[in-house]
Amino acid sequence: MTNLIEALAPDIGALLPELETVYRDIHQHPELSMQEFRTAALVAERMEKLGFEVTREVGVTGVVALLRNGEGPTVMLRADMDALPVTEATGLPYASTVRAKDEDGVEVGVAHACGHDLHVTWLLGAAQLLAAHLDAWQGTLLAVFQPGEEVGRGARSMIDDGMIARFPKPDVILGQHVMVGEAGTVGYRSGTILSAGDSLKVKLFGRGAHGSQPQTSVDPVIMAASTTLRLQTIVSREISPRDSAVLTVGALQAGTKENIIPDDATLKLNMRTYDEDVREYMLGAIRRICCAECMASNAPREPEFTTLSSYPLTVNDDAVSERLRAAFVACFGERAYETQPAAASEDFSVFGREWGVPYAFWFVGGTDPQVYAAARAAKKLNEIPGNHSPKFAPVLEPTLRTGLEAMLCAAAAWLGRESEAA
Q: Alpha-carbon torsion 296, 302, 304, 310, what sign?
A: positive
Q: Are 74 and 140 in contact (CB under 8 A)?
A: yes
Residues near 6 by beta carbon (within 8 Å), at least 6 away in sequence = none
Known catalytic membership, residue 311: yes
Could you give the CA distance from residue 150 to residue 237 in angstroms, rounded to a whole number? 30
Give the length of the chain: 422
Q: Rounded to whole angstroms, what are the CA distances from 357 to 59, 64, 161, 169?
A: 20, 17, 18, 8
Q: Alpha-carbon torsion 147, 153, 156, 160, what sign?
A: negative
Known catalytic membership, residue 397: yes
Q: Rounded to whole angstroms, what are the CA distances from 355 to 115, 162, 177, 272, 388?
A: 26, 11, 21, 25, 30
Q: Is 133 annotated as a binding residue?
A: no
Q: Is 150 annotated as a binding residue?
A: yes
- DSSP H helices in 298-395: 318-332, 349-355, 369-377
Q: What is the DSSP-derived secondary structure letter of residue 251? A: E
Could you give the CA distance from residue 249 to residue 160 in angstroms, rounded to a whole number? 31
Could you give the CA distance from residue 399 to residue 10 in angstroms, rounded to a whole number? 18
Could you give the CA distance from residue 43 to residue 229 in angstroms, rounded to a whole number? 46
Catalytic residue among 53, 276, 397, 418: 397
Measured distance between the N- and C-terminal CA atoms of the chain, rounded to whole angstroms: 9
Q: Is 114 annotated as a binding residue?
A: yes
Q: Alpha-carbon torsion 395, 401, 407, 409, what sign?
A: negative
Beta strands in 70-184 (DSSP E): 74-80, 99-101, 107-109, 139-146, 172-182
Could you give the CA distance from residue 228 to residue 265 in angstroms, rounded to a whole number? 12
Catalytic residue among 23, 188, 274, 311: 311
Counting Cβ atoms within 10 Å, is residue 381 exposed (0-12), middle (13-18) or buried (19+)?
middle
| Torsion angles phi and psi, residue 413, rounded to 5 | -65, -20
Query: What is the set of active-site residues?
Result: 311, 397
Binding site, by residue number, is 114, 116, 150, 177, 388
Binding site as annotated, residues for Mn(2+): 114, 116, 150, 177, 388
